[in-house]
Structure formats: structure tokens, C-alpha cells
Chains A and B, each alone.
Chain A
Amino acid sequence: MSGIQEDDDLVFRKIASLIEPLNDKGVKLTRETDMIADLEIDSVSVLDIVMDIEDSYDISIPVNTISEIKTIGELVDAIHDLKKEQS
């Protein structure tokens, strides 16, 4: 289990590092942070962050999936699911 936990932290930190430059209000980032409501990042910028993640992990995250994702935690979970599916 500790393997998954560690991997989880790595993915979270990766996402946080991509979001931080757009975190103008200095909100503390947690799994529960809503990217659009809490950080006021526009929907297109979220898609651009996802593209960086896709290239980091060599996975494709469909736009259809992203539109259902609101929090950083949901994005972390979606990446784990896709890594399993596409590996």
C-alpha cells in the first residue's frame, strides 16, 4: 500500500507544481482544492495543465473525462486509472 501512497504523493506534487504559477490568490493546495471555483483558473487553462500532465506520464486524458473533474484529488485519481488502463 505504501507504494500507491508514494505514487499518489508524486502525482499530487507534479500537479501542484503545474498549478502553482496560476495560483494568484496563494490558496493552499490540497486534494480537495477545486481548480475552477477555488483557484479561479479558467477552463482552457485547466485543459492546458492536463496536456503537460499527459506528456509527463505518457497517457492521454480525454476532454470528456476532464470536464467531469473538479478537484486536484479527482485529477490524481483519473491519472492513476488511466496509467493502469494505458500501460
Chain B
Amino acid sequence: MSLFDKFKSTAEQYNALVAATERDPFGVSMDEIKGPTRAIVKGKEIVLAGTNNYLGMTFNKDAVDAAKIAIDEAGTGTTGSRFANGTYAAHRKLENDLAEFAGYKYCIVFSTGYQANLGAISALAQPPNDVILIDADCHACIYDGCQLSGAQTVRFRHNDPESLDKRLSRLDENVSGKLVCIEGMYSMFGDVAPVGEFVEVAHRHGAQLLLDEAHSFGVFGDGGRGVCERDGVLADVDFYTGTFSKSLASIGGFVMSNHPELEYLRFSSRPYMFTASPSPANIAAANAALKKIAEDASMRTSLWENANRIHAAFTQLGFELCAETSPVIAVKMANREQAFMAWNFLMDHGVYVNLAIPPGTPNATSILRLSVSAAHTNEDLDAVVGAYTALSEALAS
């Protein structure tokens, strides 16, 4: 017996799947990045249709310039945690700007979105008397936050407020704090939570709601403030978490709240205290992208136009889609083998999407996850639709 034995069966399965195709879907290297929607892989130019670059701002001039200036003025890294020497004026400014943009009183910036959820959940809920209730399809960082907290964790059925209601009703009266965790838009299927209903159920039971808008920030709501803005319940969300690595085109994460107690996280959240803070360039780029989201709704309009076009085209091609129209358009595959084959087929036709297989997907489904960007041109989308048309023919034959 050795430490490595446990990997054996997964490795065998994985190797067999990769051996049957030309490429390793989880080992792609973008050799050259040509822009927000194009890259060179092994000498061939491909359309990037499997990213989280929803607003397409990774090459936005303001964000790029701001990052360059930040490096010149403040260096390449902070070499310290937010808790020690890693909080610069720019980190504080971004916290203030985010809070002001979204309409919350308090905001804390973390080094990644993963750490924002990990840090908030693990600090807020503690064993033995607190309970966390999570949507079954929550992201790994929410599950990991529960594990790090050590508090009792109960799952409820995905996007099902009644299932949450039942589980909250079952809790005995010795329970002290109750934290409900959901997401705005779920990253794999692109389906959206009934946030308003969840707010009602959680608060009726005296629970607090943590809403992760990582994939929906900048995308949903008239002002780009997420699904909770769209549903008119932004002010009722207890903890709003998000990331810089999607619509804000950088890397980092944040938690916002109207509860002044949020500030306690700064000296109790281990993922905040024991890691280096985001670099000056990351902070500057995120702040410039935030300004752009606040001022310019046209990117959001383009994004939804592109989403509508692809969703309609795929529906017409007869693909089984996982959700209503959203910037994530996931096509269901029959099984892992077909999903690997189809992913490879799309790469041959110059289109990169994300391959997702169980257990990383809901309901043990194998999917091709496509995400549209505001930066996709008509030419990009023509290439995508062309490749999927060829795929549907290949699958039918």
C-alpha cells in the first residue's frame, strides 16, 4: 500500500479516455494568446469559447494601462498578507469602489474568488452549534469552506427553495447560527437560482444567506450587479461573494455585506490572513474593469445578443441544452466517451470549449460547456456554429 494507490483507478479510467483521442482535454496549453477570443494551440489558431471572460475585458485598454502603471508605481507583488504588510491604498480603494457600485456598506478583498468563499464560510460558521445549508450544485470552494469550518453541513436539492425550507424546519432548537449558501448563476449548466425565494425562506427561519455571484456579476441585472439585482433583493442578501477572474478580467475575490460584523473576518478568516494579497497589477486591472462595468452597459448588451444567438442555433441543431439562455451554454453528451470524442472534434474544427465530466458536474452528466463573451465577433460565432453543425452531423451519422 502507498499514498499513490488511491489514484490508480481514476488514473486508469482517465488514461483510457485520453488514449482514445488525440489530445488531453485537461492538459491544453494556450501557446499564444491573440486576444480575448483567440489563441494559438500547437500552431493552430482557435476560437476560445470555453472561458469565463464574459465581458471580454482581458485586453481592455484602460485595464491593461492601469495594470502597467500599477507595476511601475507599486511593484510586481506585495509579498505579504492583507493582515500584515499586504494592504495598500489600492486594495482599500477597490473595496470602497466595489461596495459603492453594488450598494453595500462593507467589502473585503481576498486573493482569489475561491478564497473569498472559503474565507467567509469558514469564519462565519463554527462547530458545534452552527449549521451550513448548501445547494447541492454549489462550487467546490463552497464545499471546501464548509469542510474548513468544520460546522455541520446539510445539502438541499439544487435550486429548490422548498427543499431548503424542509431542511431548515428539521433543525433542532439548539442550533445557533444558520448559514445558507447558493450561487446566482451556476458555472457548469448556466442555470440561475430563484434568489428572491431563497431570501424569503432563509430569513423566515432566521438564517442568513450567502450568495455567490462569481459568474453573474457584470452579467445579470440592469446595472450588472448580479441575479439578486435582477430579482430586486440585493439589499436582502447577507453576504454577497464574487471574483475578479470572470467579468472583472483579473484575479482576486471579494465579500460584501451590510452587516458591520463583516469586518471581524479580517482577523478571523484564515484564507484572508495567511496568504499574500493580490498584486498591484491585479487590483488596478480589476478596479479599471469595475469602472467600465459601471459606466458602459453595451458590453452586457453584446454578451446577451451573443448568448441568444448561440442558444437559438444549438436548439435548432437539436442539441440537448442544460438550461435556458445564459452566457453559459452546456450541451449534454450521452457519456464520457462521446464527450471526449466531441471535444476533440471541436478542437479539430478550431473551437475550444470546456469538457466537464462527473463528479465535477451535476447529476453525473458529461457536458461540453461553452461560454460566450461580449468580445466574440460575428466571425468567431460563425466558426462556433459551423463547428457544432459539423458535430451534430457527425453524431447523427
Contacts and interface: CB of A to CB of B under 8 A. Distances in A.
B110 to A, nearest CB: 24
Contacts of A86: 170, 172
A42 B153 contact: no
A64 B153 contact: yes
B152 A64 contact: yes
A85 to B, nearest CB: 8
B358 A42 contact: yes
A59 interface: yes
A61 B136 CA distance: 13
Interface string A3-26: 000000000000000000000000
Contacts of A51: 136, 155-157
A15 to B, nearest CB: 17
A55 B157 CA distance: 10
Contacts of A62: 152-154
Interface in B9-27: 9
Main SS at interface, chain B: mixed
Give the most central of A40, A55, A64, A86: most B CB within 10 Å: A64
Contact of A58 (B143, B150, B170, B171): B170
Given A48-B136, A63-B146, A86-B172, A43 B359 contact: yes
Contact of B154 (A43, A44, A45, A60): A60
Given A40-B9, A51-B136, A63 B154 contact: yes
B167 interface: yes
A44 B364 contact: yes
B72 to A, nearest CB: 47
Contacts of A59: 170
Give the most central of B358, B359, B363: most A CB within 10 Å: B359
Contacts of A55: 163, 166
Interface string A30-42: 0000000000101
Given A40-B9, A48-B136, A51-B136, A63 B153 contact: yes
A7 B157 CA distance: 26
A82 B26 CA distance: 41
A42 B170 contact: no
Contacts of A43: 359
Contacts of B153: 62-64
Contacts of B167: 54, 60
Given A59-B170, A60-B170, A62-B152, A44 B358 contact: yes
A62 B156 CA distance: 11
A44 B359 contact: yes
Contacts of B358: 42, 44-45
B178 to A, nearest CB: 12
Interface in B276-298: none
Contacts of B155: 47, 51, 63
B348 to A, nearest CB: 29
A51 B154 CA distance: 10
Nearest to A61: B154
A79 B359 CA distance: 25
Nearest to B9: A40
B218 to A, nearest CB: 29
A74 B363 CA distance: 24
A45 B364 contact: yes
Contacts of A58: 166, 170
Interface in B160-175: 163, 166-167, 170-172
A68 to B, nearest CB: 13
Contacts of A47: 136, 155
B168 to A, nearest CB: 10
Given A44-B358, A51-B155, A62-B153, 14 more contacts: A42-B359, A42-B364, A44-B359, A44-B364, A45-B358, A45-B359, A51-B136, A58-B170, A63-B143, A63-B146, A63-B153, A63-B154, A63-B155, A86-B170
Interface of A: 40, 42-45, 47-48, 51, 54-55, 58-64, 86
16 contacts: A42-B359, A45-B364, A47-B136, A51-B155, A51-B156, A51-B157, A55-B163, A59-B170, A60-B154, A60-B167, A60-B170, A61-B154, A63-B146, A63-B154, A64-B152, A86-B172
